[in-house]
Chains A and B, each alone.
Chain A
Amino acid sequence: SQTIHQWPATLVQPVGSPLSLECTVEGTSNPNLYWYRQAAGRGLQLLFYSVGIGQISSEVPQNLSASRPQDRQFILSSKKLLLSDSGFYLCAWGGPLTRNTGELFFGEGSRLTVL
Protein backbone atom coordinates (compact mmCIF):
# COMPACT_ATOMS: atom_id res chain seq x y z
CA SER A 1 0.00 0.00 0.00
CA GLN A 2 1.01 3.58 -0.51
CA THR A 3 2.28 5.74 2.32
CA ILE A 4 3.39 9.33 2.53
CA HIS A 5 5.83 10.69 5.07
CA GLN A 6 6.40 14.29 5.96
CA TRP A 7 8.97 15.81 8.32
CA PRO A 8 9.63 17.55 10.55
CA ALA A 9 6.22 17.49 12.21
CA THR A 10 6.84 20.70 14.10
CA LEU A 11 9.30 23.49 13.46
CA VAL A 12 9.95 26.83 15.16
CA GLN A 13 12.23 29.14 13.19
CA PRO A 14 13.34 32.78 13.51
CA VAL A 15 12.54 35.31 10.82
CA GLY A 16 15.20 35.29 8.13
CA SER A 17 16.30 31.70 8.69
CA PRO A 18 16.13 29.03 5.96
CA LEU A 19 13.53 26.29 5.69
CA SER A 20 13.46 22.77 4.38
CA LEU A 21 10.42 20.49 4.65
CA GLU A 22 10.63 17.03 3.14
CA CYS A 23 8.02 14.66 1.83
CA THR A 24 8.47 11.14 0.49
CA VAL A 25 5.98 8.69 -0.95
CA GLU A 26 6.28 4.92 -0.87
CA GLY A 27 4.43 2.21 -2.74
CA THR A 28 3.77 4.07 -5.98
CA SER A 29 5.76 5.36 -8.91
CA ASN A 30 5.54 8.61 -10.84
CA PRO A 31 3.05 10.22 -8.47
CA ASN A 32 1.84 13.77 -8.81
CA LEU A 33 3.02 15.65 -5.73
CA TYR A 34 1.59 18.73 -4.07
CA TRP A 35 2.42 21.21 -1.32
CA TYR A 36 -0.48 22.96 0.38
CA ARG A 37 -0.48 25.55 3.15
CA GLN A 38 -3.24 25.90 5.70
CA ALA A 39 -3.20 29.14 7.64
CA ALA A 40 -4.95 29.25 11.00
CA GLY A 41 -8.72 29.06 10.59
CA ARG A 42 -8.54 29.04 6.82
CA GLY A 43 -8.79 26.53 4.01
CA LEU A 44 -6.07 24.97 1.96
CA GLN A 45 -3.98 26.95 -0.48
CA LEU A 46 -2.11 25.09 -3.20
CA LEU A 47 1.51 26.26 -3.30
CA PHE A 48 3.25 23.90 -5.74
CA TYR A 49 2.56 20.78 -7.71
CA SER A 50 4.83 18.46 -9.67
CA VAL A 51 4.07 15.87 -12.33
CA GLY A 52 7.64 14.55 -12.54
CA ILE A 53 11.28 14.90 -11.53
CA GLY A 54 12.42 18.48 -11.87
CA GLN A 55 8.96 19.65 -13.01
CA ILE A 56 7.52 22.20 -10.62
CA SER A 57 4.54 24.48 -11.09
CA SER A 58 3.97 27.36 -8.72
CA GLU A 59 0.42 28.43 -8.03
CA VAL A 60 1.09 31.61 -6.09
CA PRO A 61 4.01 34.04 -5.95
CA GLN A 62 5.70 33.79 -2.60
CA ASN A 63 8.82 33.44 -0.54
CA LEU A 64 8.94 29.67 -0.98
CA SER A 65 10.30 27.26 -3.57
CA ALA A 66 9.91 23.56 -4.24
CA SER A 67 12.10 20.88 -5.74
CA ARG A 68 11.67 17.28 -6.81
CA PRO A 69 15.10 15.69 -6.94
CA GLN A 70 13.75 12.13 -7.06
CA ASP A 71 10.53 10.56 -8.29
CA ARG A 72 9.02 10.17 -4.82
CA GLN A 73 10.65 13.06 -2.99
CA PHE A 74 9.27 16.58 -2.77
CA ILE A 75 10.99 19.38 -0.86
CA LEU A 76 9.66 22.77 0.20
CA SER A 77 12.29 25.41 0.87
CA SER A 78 12.87 29.02 1.72
CA LYS A 79 16.09 31.00 1.90
CA LYS A 80 14.69 33.57 4.37
CA LEU A 81 11.50 32.96 6.29
CA LEU A 82 8.92 35.68 6.89
CA LEU A 83 6.41 35.87 9.72
CA SER A 84 3.66 35.29 7.17
CA ASP A 85 5.15 31.91 6.30
CA SER A 86 3.81 30.46 9.55
CA GLY A 87 1.20 27.79 8.99
CA PHE A 88 0.46 24.13 8.59
CA TYR A 89 2.07 22.64 5.49
CA LEU A 90 0.65 19.55 3.90
CA CYS A 91 2.22 17.34 1.29
CA ALA A 92 -0.06 15.21 -0.86
CA TRP A 93 0.21 12.75 -3.70
CA GLY A 94 -2.19 11.70 -6.42
CA GLY A 95 -2.29 9.42 -9.44
CA PRO A 96 -1.74 10.48 -13.05
CA LEU A 97 -4.06 13.36 -13.77
CA THR A 98 -5.53 11.95 -16.94
CA ARG A 99 -6.44 8.60 -15.45
CA ASN A 100 -7.77 9.34 -12.02
CA THR A 101 -10.66 11.15 -10.49
CA GLY A 102 -8.57 13.65 -8.60
CA GLU A 103 -8.45 12.42 -5.04
CA LEU A 104 -5.32 13.20 -3.11
CA PHE A 105 -3.67 11.44 -0.20
CA PHE A 106 -2.16 13.66 2.44
CA GLY A 107 0.75 13.46 4.81
CA GLU A 108 0.43 14.26 8.50
CA GLY A 109 1.52 17.84 8.02
CA SER A 110 4.32 20.08 9.29
CA ARG A 111 3.50 22.96 11.60
CA LEU A 112 5.82 25.90 11.05
CA THR A 113 5.98 28.80 13.46
CA VAL A 114 8.11 31.75 12.46
CA LEU A 115 9.04 34.07 15.35
Chain B
Amino acid sequence: AQSVTQLDSHVSVSEGTPVLLRCNYSSSYSPSLFWYVQHPNKGLQLLLKYTSAATLVKGINGFEAEFKKSETSFHLTKPSAHMSDAAEYFCVVSARDTGRRALTFGSGTRLQVQP
Protein backbone atom coordinates (compact mmCIF):
# COMPACT_ATOMS: atom_id res chain seq x y z
CA ALA B 1 0.00 0.00 0.00
CA GLN B 2 1.15 3.54 -0.58
CA SER B 3 -0.01 7.00 0.33
CA VAL B 4 0.90 10.63 -0.13
CA THR B 5 0.31 13.50 2.25
CA GLN B 6 0.65 17.08 1.13
CA LEU B 7 0.99 18.93 4.38
CA ASP B 8 -0.43 22.27 3.24
CA SER B 9 -3.59 22.76 1.22
CA HIS B 10 -2.72 26.44 0.59
CA VAL B 11 0.61 28.27 0.53
CA SER B 12 0.96 32.00 -0.06
CA VAL B 13 4.29 33.69 -0.80
CA SER B 14 5.41 37.04 -2.10
CA GLU B 15 6.95 37.32 -5.53
CA GLY B 16 10.73 36.87 -5.30
CA THR B 17 10.64 34.88 -2.05
CA PRO B 18 11.36 31.14 -1.71
CA VAL B 19 8.72 28.48 -2.21
CA LEU B 20 8.41 25.31 -0.12
CA LEU B 21 5.65 22.79 -0.78
CA ARG B 22 5.78 19.80 1.53
CA CYS B 23 5.09 16.18 0.69
CA ASN B 24 5.43 13.00 2.74
CA TYR B 25 4.90 9.54 1.34
CA SER B 26 4.66 5.95 2.41
CA SER B 27 5.27 2.95 0.20
CA SER B 28 5.92 -0.74 0.69
CA TYR B 29 8.02 -0.80 -2.47
CA SER B 30 10.82 1.32 -3.90
CA PRO B 31 8.87 4.32 -5.09
CA SER B 32 9.18 6.77 -7.89
CA LEU B 33 8.04 10.26 -6.92
CA PHE B 34 6.74 13.10 -9.04
CA TRP B 35 5.55 16.65 -8.77
CA TYR B 36 2.93 17.90 -11.19
CA VAL B 37 1.59 21.42 -11.67
CA GLN B 38 -1.92 22.32 -12.78
CA HIS B 39 -2.93 25.79 -13.88
CA PRO B 40 -6.65 26.65 -13.76
CA ASN B 41 -8.76 24.58 -16.13
CA LYS B 42 -5.71 22.89 -17.56
CA GLY B 43 -4.25 19.42 -17.50
CA LEU B 44 -1.37 18.37 -15.27
CA GLN B 45 2.19 19.04 -16.36
CA LEU B 46 5.13 17.05 -15.03
CA LEU B 47 7.54 19.30 -13.10
CA LEU B 48 10.11 16.74 -12.04
CA LYS B 49 10.59 13.11 -11.08
CA TYR B 50 12.69 10.99 -8.75
CA THR B 51 13.46 7.46 -9.92
CA SER B 52 16.17 6.17 -7.52
CA ALA B 53 19.07 8.06 -9.08
CA ALA B 54 20.24 11.39 -7.63
CA THR B 55 18.29 12.38 -4.54
CA LEU B 56 18.23 16.05 -5.53
CA VAL B 57 16.09 16.39 -8.60
CA LYS B 58 15.91 19.48 -10.79
CA GLY B 59 12.81 20.18 -12.80
CA ILE B 60 11.39 22.78 -15.11
CA ASN B 61 10.87 26.46 -14.28
CA GLY B 62 13.55 26.49 -11.57
CA PHE B 63 11.87 23.97 -9.28
CA GLU B 64 13.72 21.21 -7.49
CA ALA B 65 12.92 18.52 -4.95
CA GLU B 66 14.98 16.41 -2.59
CA PHE B 67 14.20 12.78 -1.84
CA LYS B 68 14.87 12.01 1.82
CA LYS B 69 14.29 8.36 2.54
CA SER B 70 14.89 8.69 6.29
CA GLU B 71 12.18 11.32 6.50
CA THR B 72 9.97 9.80 3.76
CA SER B 73 9.73 13.27 2.27
CA PHE B 74 9.90 14.79 -1.19
CA HIS B 75 9.48 18.53 -0.68
CA LEU B 76 9.32 20.89 -3.66
CA THR B 77 11.31 24.12 -3.56
CA LYS B 78 12.10 27.14 -5.69
CA PRO B 79 14.48 29.92 -4.64
CA SER B 80 12.40 32.80 -5.98
CA ALA B 81 8.69 32.72 -6.75
CA HIS B 82 7.29 34.22 -9.92
CA MET B 83 3.71 35.31 -10.48
CA SER B 84 3.34 32.60 -13.13
CA ASP B 85 4.04 29.93 -10.47
CA ALA B 86 0.57 30.44 -9.01
CA ALA B 87 -1.15 27.09 -9.56
CA GLU B 88 -2.09 23.79 -7.91
CA TYR B 89 0.75 21.37 -7.23
CA PHE B 90 0.38 17.61 -6.80
CA CYS B 91 2.83 15.19 -5.26
CA VAL B 92 2.53 11.68 -6.68
CA VAL B 93 4.02 8.35 -5.66
CA SER B 94 4.32 5.41 -8.01
CA ALA B 95 5.35 1.93 -6.97
CA ARG B 96 5.25 -1.43 -8.64
CA ASP B 97 2.60 -3.30 -6.74
CA THR B 98 1.59 -6.84 -7.70
CA GLY B 99 2.90 -6.48 -11.22
CA ARG B 100 1.43 -3.12 -12.13
CA ARG B 101 2.40 0.37 -11.20
CA ALA B 102 -0.01 2.12 -8.90
CA LEU B 103 -0.08 5.90 -8.93
CA THR B 104 -1.29 7.72 -5.84
CA PHE B 105 -1.94 11.45 -5.95
CA GLY B 106 -1.76 13.82 -3.03
CA SER B 107 -4.70 16.13 -2.43
CA GLY B 108 -2.85 19.11 -3.85
CA THR B 109 -1.37 22.40 -2.62
CA ARG B 110 -2.61 25.66 -4.02
CA LEU B 111 0.21 28.17 -4.35
CA GLN B 112 -0.63 31.85 -4.34
CA VAL B 113 2.00 34.40 -5.30
CA GLN B 114 1.43 37.93 -4.06
CA PRO B 115 2.92 40.87 -5.96
User: Residues of A contacting B49 with CB < 8 Å?
Assistant: 101, 103
Identity of the chain A residue whose Cβ is nearest the Cβ of B43 in the assembled complex? A106
B111 smallest CB distance to A (angstroms): 15
User: Main SS of chain B's interface residues?
Assistant: strand
User: Residues of B contacting A6 with CB < 8 Å?
Assistant: 43
A106 smallest CB distance to B (angstroms): 4
Q: How large, as a class, is the contact surface on chain B?
A: 20 to 34
If A107-B43, A108-B43, A111-B41 touch, whether A102 touches B103 (CB-CB below 8 Å) is: yes
Taking beta carbons and an 8 Å cutoff, which residues of A are in contact with B?
6, 42-44, 46, 88, 90, 92, 97-98, 100-109, 111
A101 in contact with B90 (CB, 8 Å): no
A103 in contact with B44 (CB, 8 Å): no
B105 in contact with A44 (CB, 8 Å): yes
A108 in contact with B94 (CB, 8 Å): no
B1 smallest CB distance to A (angstroms): 15
A18 to B108, CA, bound (A): 31
Of all A-B residue pairs in the complex, the 4 with the closest CB atoms, nearest first, are A102-B94, A106-B43, A101-B32, A101-B51
User: Residues of B contacting A44 with CB < 8 Å?
Assistant: 44, 90, 105
A6 to B43, CA, bound (A): 10
Residue-wise, chain B 91-112 has the 8 Å CB interface mask toward A (1 for contact) of 0001110011101011110000
User: Main SS of chain A's interface residues?
Assistant: loop
Pick the residue among B36, B46, B103 that contacts A46 (CB under 8 A): B103
B44 in contact with A102 (CB, 8 Å): no
A106 in contact with B44 (CB, 8 Å): yes
User: Residues of B contacting A106 with CB < 8 Å?
Assistant: 36, 43-45
